[in-house]
Amino acid sequence: MRHTWRWFGLIDKVTVRDAAQAGAVGIVSALHHIRTGDAWPEAEIAKRHEEIKAGGLVWDVVESVPVSESIKTQTGDWRAHITNWQETLRRLSAAGIRTVCYNFMPVLDWTRTDLRWSTRHGAKAMRFDLIDFVAFDLHLLNRPGASHDYDEAIRDKAAERFARMSDEHRSALSKNIGAGLPGSADGYTLPQLLELLRTYSGISRERLQQNLIDFLSEVTPVAEKVGINICAHPDDPPWPLLGLPRILSTEADYLHMLNAVDSRANGVTFCTGSLGALASNDLPAMVRRLAPRIHFVHLRNVRREEQSSPCSFFEDEHLEGDTDMVAVIAELLAEERRRGQEGRSDHQIPMRPDHGQEILDDLQRGAQPGYPAIGRLKGLAELRGIERALSHPRYGLR
């Protein structure tokens, strides 16, 4: 696999040179300062390329070109936003980019209740606490109709938890859940979040699925023409939140999308952490069956605190947690070999170590939550070790 590293630009406290020292050969980045819905300016794309080259690496993957809420709901300027998305693909292709990640999660991107939860050995990790989340929904956001989404036992636990919460805890919970896209300075106040939720009134799961297919029907032919693979990131966590539907949480969800727009350019960002939070997802088997359309991989591990869905979970160390990372990597390497035998130009799959724990000097650095220097270095080293062992001509897979 091609080892890459997410970088949020010059504001990132982890530099491109840090990434190179950690063992990455490519960078995953985006232009977070460009307004969602606008086409990315050629000059800004070139500028980001130069910033990455100055650190000694190259820009391999764009993560993400945001899909606007207007596109997801097919309201307002959604057609103009699709046109701008298409133009952004053309400009990225002209600049040498061949992989573009995006997501179709309504309103909220990945959602956590705690961005720096203390693990058993003092590291800091991101965590989704189901009871805290329900307490937020019922007692802080006060979402209309929210009580119908939870059974009585969960509602009672949430009420008890909320009654014990300090004002500081309540404020942090609102901030964490209302945070915007990673790398963005945007976020939502409670009134703003409620207003955004109202825009999805009447949009069922089936309607959102169709809106995704409509979007892909427009942008995939452009991606094909300019030589870019576009790849959808799964829902995180992979179940409905705040009354909003989720449509990329399982293998069946992905097959629905891939079969509806049956082009190799329309593919998957396979995130083991997002998909691994759902106990019914068999990740090695999913990789095996989705393999030809997997264009980008996020390798991280989560530890589920219950086996039900939804559930509480936290971001565990890369080789811990509930996902068999060795089996996942074995399937990915098998796919790379198959692509190589076919002569595919995209035979090497870009991957990045995702959501490392904050350890050692990370604890004082104050980097973007989930993206510390040393925690990801440790994860990348472990993942590279698995890959090297499985690829060894004497000891590894044939």
**Which residues participate in catalysis according to the annotation?**
233, 271, 298, 354-355, 371
Q: How many CB atoms lie within 10 A of CB 394?
A: 4
Alpha helices per DSSP H over the chain:
16-22, 42-54, 69-73, 78-94, 130-135, 152-164, 167-177, 190-198, 205-226, 251-260, 272-276, 283-290, 325-342, 362-365, 373-391
Q: Is there a contact between 180 and 186 (Cβ–Cβ < 8 Å)?
A: yes
Residue 243 — left, alpha, or beta (φ > 0 → left; ψ -120 to 50 → alpha)? Answer: left
Q: DSSP labels for 5-59?
A: EE---TT-SS-HHHHHHHT--EEEE--TTSPTTSPPPHHHHHHHHHHHHHTT-EE
Report DSSP state, residue 239: S
Q: Give the separation between CA 255 and CA 240, rounded to whole angstroms.
A: 19
Report DSSP state, residue 95: T
